Amino acid sequence: MASRIDQGVGSQRAGGTLEDGLVAGAELDTLLRRRASELVASQNRSRQRNLIPEQLSARIGEESYGLPLTSVTRIVPYTGCAAAPGGRWPLLGIIGSQGDSWALYDLGGLLGGSIAAGGAASGYAVLLRHDRRRIALRVDAVAAAGRIDRAEIRTIEALSDRGERLLYGVATKAGLQLIDINALWMLEPFSAGGKK
């Protein structure tokens, strides 16, 4: 007799009687499916929060560097540039794109590298977003690297070399050294006053 009472109480808690068991079962199935979908959506949102912005892989020689795509205006083939009066390495010169002039810097030079042998006009110019200046970086090759999970990033701390100070971490799976765009803007060529 006790088991009949327990069953009756259980079915009333589920919102029906024993005779309504099939309806309650279908409702329960719908409820479980909806909850599973909500959990998957919640996990996806959590995963998205753990991702850094999409990265552009910029290669210089054998090294690959990540630049946030949100900082990139466009990418154009590099076929040479006009000399900039008084320009010093790593400033390569001035390029034009869509009617605007852009100061072109060698990313390898900004990272502490020496002048490239031969000075070949090849590779790409990555035109960056900046609130005061039109800045472009010359790189050997570019590719989309996608988004990277923060858990995959090994941080870099207390480095003294100027180029290494521009890096905040290494995305181990993607093989990218990640450039801190804010540290880049703090370099002397960019932090000085000036207008677009």
Residue 177 has a pLDDT of 93
Residue 148: is it exposed, middle or buried by C-beta count within 10 angstroms (0-12/13-18/19+)? Answer: buried
Residue 131 has a pLDDT of 82
Q: Do 69 and 16 fall into the same domain?
A: no
- pTM comes to 0.69
How many CB atoms within 10 Å of residue 163?
16
Percent of the chain with pLDDT over 90: 37
CATH of the domain at 113: 2.40.50.180
Distance CA 125, CA 102 (A): 10
Q: Do 110 and 143 fall into the same domain?
A: yes
Q: Do 96 and 176 fall into the same domain?
A: yes
Query: Which 3-state string (H, E, C) describes 44-113?
Result: HHHHHHCECCCEEEEEECCEEEEEEHHHEEEEEECCCCECCCCCCCCEEEEEEECCEEEEEEEHHHHCCC
The helix or strand, by DSSP H or E, that contains position 42, with its residue range, turns out to be: helix 21-49
Q: Do 89 and 152 fall into the same domain?
A: yes
Residue 154 has a pLDDT of 87
Q: Do 45 and 62 fall into the same domain?
A: no
Domain with 26 in it: 2-49
| Residue 88 forms part of a structural domain | yes
Q: Do 30 and 85 fall into the same domain?
A: no
pLDDT under 50 in the chain at which residues?
A: 1-18, 20-21, 23, 117-118, 158-160, 194-196
| Residue 196 forms part of a structural domain | no
Residue 155 has a pLDDT of 82
Q: Do 73 and 147 fall into the same domain?
A: yes
Q: Do 149 and 106 fall into the same domain?
A: yes
How many CB atoms within 10 Å of residue 3?
7
The total domain count for the chain is 2
Q: Do 102 and 174 fall into the same domain?
A: yes
Residue 93 has a pLDDT of 94
> Amino acid identity, residue 97?
S
Q: Do 173 and 147 fall into the same domain?
A: yes
Q: Do 112 and 164 fall into the same domain?
A: yes
Residue 30 has a pLDDT of 78
